[in-house]
Amino acid sequence: GEDVEQSLFLSVREGDSSVINCTYTDSSSTYLYWYKQEPGAGLQLLTYIFSNMDMKQDQRLTVLLNKKDKHLSLRIADTQTGDSAIYFCAEMTARQLTFGSGTQLTVLP
């Protein structure tokens, strides 16, 4: 079955880079996503990567995918206080979208 895991918490200093990691188990995943959820708000799609890619860059965001190890990461460059939120990775298989538990990112001044 599908299982997606993330560490629960990450703290970084403002201006540093943040790296949020995610592992998944289903090798049939087609797309992998990163969503951001701010307090009291819905889910905002940040970026996604197709499963046959190994890297995607979008402004301050870099996604790395190691398909052999089933490991996905999201790097946020020059992290700002506005980046404080919960970040969810999710994998899309033929059947459904499965979410990780979310990583609470706290950006310290």
Partner 1 sequence: SAVISQKPSRDICQRGTSLTIQCQVDSQVTMMFWYRQQPGQSLTLIATANQGSEATYESGFVIDKFPISRPNLTFSTLTVSNMSPEDSSIYLCSSTMNTEAFFGQGTRLTVV
**Using rule CB under 8 A, residue 98 touches partner 1:** yes
Using the rule CB under 8 A, give the single segment among 21-29, 54-62, 65-73, 98-106 that binds partner 1: 98-106
What is the token pair recorded at 92? 């899309």
Given 48, 53, 64, 93, the residue binding partner 1 (CB under 8 A) = 48
Number of residues lying near partner 1 (CB under 8 A): 18
**Residue 81: CB minimum distance to partner 1, A:** 22
Cα distances (Å, whole numbers) of residue 4 to 15, 25, 38: 29, 7, 21
Q: What's the CA angle centered on 33, arms 7 and 75, to 5 degrees?
A: 60
